[in-house]
Amino acid sequence: MSKPIGYHPFRTAAFFAALGFIIAFGLLFIADYITSDAGIPGEGNGLLQKVIHTDSGMNPLISAGIAFIILLMVFGRIELALISMIPLFAGWLGLNGLIRNQGNADSYFLLLETPLLFGLGTGYSIYLERGLVNRYKSGKNVPPSLLSGLFYILFSLLVLLLLLWVAGHPVFSPGTLVTVSAITFTLALSGLLVPVVFKSLVYHKHTRRVEPVTLTSFLVSIIAFLMFLTGSLLLTLIIPVLRIVPIGRDRTRYIFHWLVSATLRIVVYSIFPIRKVIEIRNKVDFSKPSVIVCNHQSHLDLSIILMLHPKIIVLTNKWVWNNPFYGFVVRFAEFYPIFKGLDQQLAERLGKKVEKGYSILVFPEGTRTNDGRINRFHQGAFWLADKLKIDIQPLLLHGANHCMIKREFFLRPGSITLRALGKIKVTSVGDDESYRIQAQSLRKIYRNEFEKMSEELETPGYFRNRLLSQFLYKGPFIEWYARIKVSLEKNYSRLNSIIPREAMIVDIGCGYGFLCHMLCMVSDKRRILGLDYDSNKIAITGQIDTSLKNVRFEVADILNYELPKADVFLLLDVLHYLPSGFHQTVIEKCINNLNTGGMIIIRDADTDLKKRMWRTRLNEFYSTRFFRFNKTSADALYFTSGTIIADIAAKHNFVVERDDKSTKKADITFVLKRAEK
């Protein structure tokens, strides 16, 4: 993409370098003010006087604290502030080491070094991350280039040397060399480190992450992994002890299985951002062995099922069997490698475990699904159940793929539900074709039950966090606007309940696409076209979760746009941005392109409700004039009335349903449908 009009990389670099010096001098002033006994900078025994005679540690702490607050306020995310602070602290440690090695830490000039380093480093971090955020937000290719980054560093150093020369300090001295070296190192490290870390938050192997990594998800994932690793290590250390305890092989193995189950239960339930719903009580009888089958969505699946009961044996793949962290645990627990194939010998070995009350766990898909859908079932589970003369116990898992995305390490907040389906008896025929047909039949059952389960659980509230995560690291304004808007709309639950799950939808005035994406997340059978006059909003919403293939956006002026045929037209808070003479024109354009059985949903202020209008007008003033959330080409806002909308509907033989749940504002939702003949 081309750079936006008016974008000058060197001018921008010079501006942020100047900002860095302003921050540096501000840090020096504030540090002096806070640490002076009298509270007046430059008098008595403030920092500038005290530090000459004492090794005070207040200056770097104050500078770092203020720099962190500035970065946090600019970007609104603690993650971005922290990754910017890493090179600043590294630079300060290098500066401190050079000063001590040189033995001139009491030089008056060195009092300026810490504020200068943090100030210029903060300005450069803002310069870097501003460009990275803009590119991630709207796809505009405006992050600082290597050349403009070098210009920032050189420009800053030249200005610094000029200030020293003007102030009468020696430009070419050991102290100056230390300062220049430390600042150059800090800025260069920022230029290398900040873009890499930022991209790791939002991209995975050059592909945009479905959900960006946050500090919470990072810490939760690290803690969960360390707990799992610690548990695996402890279980491995227990193995030699159990080998020498004289209580019998069967008892030893049961104790070990119990310890594995208990360990995994602790690990799973310690992941507090993920809600676990286990709905198998009184539905699964583990006292009767069976072949347990379950759809495979994530690395969490195995832990969730093994924590249910100690007497479960798993058929594992080669990677799990040879894993360096928990391979010893897998082998001592007598889980069996499936990569060598199914044969009569394996059936006989598993048959001995079944006789001792153990069930066999199989993931018939063979691998984790990419999108949560049920993949093809292999027939091995049916072959095994037939040979062992036991039933198949199906378990259905939902939500794990949303909490731990395939090929990613990090956990996300969400909800995982495990349900039990009815037991299945294998038809014993003895040929592979019979097993294949039974596997296909079970897959159909899984697909139907999973679709019902998804429709029940995947509500707008379920997808709230995923929707809001699409607006992380795109600036505090957009992030908080998304949070407030989605909260005020109550996750769009009402609109989702009105709009069919399978429909072609046109959202006129879609804004940042909150509703469009929510409707598509809830049902992938919806096809949505979002239109908006504001090209900036369309640029931003076009960069959201590329896995949603059934939604697209266009910049359009509805007065000149040729609408496609659709089942649902949405005009939510749109009409009052159009000149009053065009309200009827737009509504009739929607009527003329509405498919049979479709609907038009209009939400706007009803001027018939005069006592409520002042609140609506005040709200729109803040939206368009003060905060400028919304863009309009008109000089004023033109509200319509419920009476006019009803007259337009009656003219075209439509009926109007009013949804008035507001007690403060005049905003009313009108649902227009063709009158039944």
Closest CA to 654 of 670, 675, 627: 675
> CA-to-CA distance for 449 and 673, rounded, in angstroms?
33
Axis crossing angle, helix 146-167 with helix 9-35, rounded to the nearest 10: 50
Q: What 3-state DSSP class applies to 104?
A: coil
Instruction: Match 């192997």 to its residue by tokens.
Output: 205
Classify strands 654-659 and 667-674 as parallel, antiparallel or unpaired.
antiparallel
| 205 Rama class: left (phi>0) / alpha (psi -120 to 50) / beta | left
Write down the pLDDT at residue 18. 65
In three-state secondary structure terms, 416 is: strand
101: Cα within 13 Å, side-chain hemisphere:
8
Query: Given this model, what pLDDT does residue 54 score?
Result: 39
How does DSSP classify residue 109?
A: G
Residue type, 595: N
Q: Which of 568, 605, 609, 575 is nearest to 590 (CA)?
A: 568
> 632 with 573: CB under 8 angstroms?
no
Q: How far apart are CA 542 and CA 643, in angstroms?
A: 37
Give CA–CA dist 264/257, Å, rounded: 11
Task: Output the six-digit token pair for 436.
Answer: 């294949």
10-residue mean pLDDT profile of the chain (677 residues): values are 46 62 65 50 44 48 80 88 87 72 51 72 82 82 58 67 61 66 81 88 85 91 92 91 85 92 93 90 88 91 92 84 82 80 78 91 86 86 88 93 86 92 82 82 92 92 92 89 90 92 93 92 92 89 76 90 93 84 89 92 80 65 56 65 87 87 72 82
Question: In 375-487, at which residue ranges do the beta strands (DSSP E only) sit?
Answer: 392-398, 414-420
Spatial CA neighbour of 488 closest among 667, 275, 273, 670: 667
Phi, psi of 573 (to 5 degrees): 55, 45
Query: What number does CATH give the domain 466-674?
Result: 3.40.50.150
Q: Report yes or no: 33 and 39 within 8 Å, Cβ to Cβ.
A: yes
Predicted confidence at residue 13, as pLDDT, reads: 59
Type of residue found at 235: L
Longest CA–CA separation in the chain, Å? 98
Beta bridge partners of 673: 599, 655
**Enclosing H/E stretch for 669:** strand 667-674
Domain ranges of the chain: 9-204, 215-457, 466-674
CB 440 within 8 A of CB 382: no
In the chain, the amino acid numbered 192 is L
Residue 559 structure tokens: 């007065």
Residue 368, burial from CB neighbour count under 10 angstroms (0-12, 13-18, 19+): buried
Determine the pLDDT at residue 1.
40
- 45 contacts 58 by C-beta, under 8 angstroms: no
Q: Where are the alpha helices (DSSP H) in 271-379?
A: 300-306, 318-321, 327-332, 344-355
Closest CA to 367 of 377, 381, 353, 358: 377
Report the distance separating Cα 67 and Cα 60, nearest Å. 10
DSSP string, 505-558: EEEET-TT-HHHHHHHHH-TT-EEEEEES-HHHHHHHTTS-TT-TTEEEEE--T
Between CA 28 and CA 236 the distance in angstroms is 56
Phi, psi of 671 (to 5 degrees): -110, 115
CB atoms within 10 A of CB 320: 17
Burial-class residue 287 by CB neighbours within 10 Å (0-12, 13-18, 19+): exposed
Neighbours of 272 (CB within 10 A): 10
Position 276: which residue type?
K
- DSSP E strands in 370-522: the ranges are 392-398, 414-420, 504-508
| pLDDT given at position 6 | 43
Q: Checking DSSP bridges between strand 527-532 and strand 504-508, what pairing results, if any?
A: parallel
Among residues 495, 569, 578, the alpha carbon closest in space to that of 533 is found at 578
CATH topology of domain 9-204: Multidrug efflux transporter AcrB transmembrane fold (1.20.1640)
Spatial distance between the Cα atoms of 452 and 562, rounded to a whole number of angstroms: 37
Q: Which residues of 408-442 are buried (b: 16+ CB within 10 A; e: fewer)?
A: bebbbbbbbbbbbbeebebeeeeeeebbeebbeeb
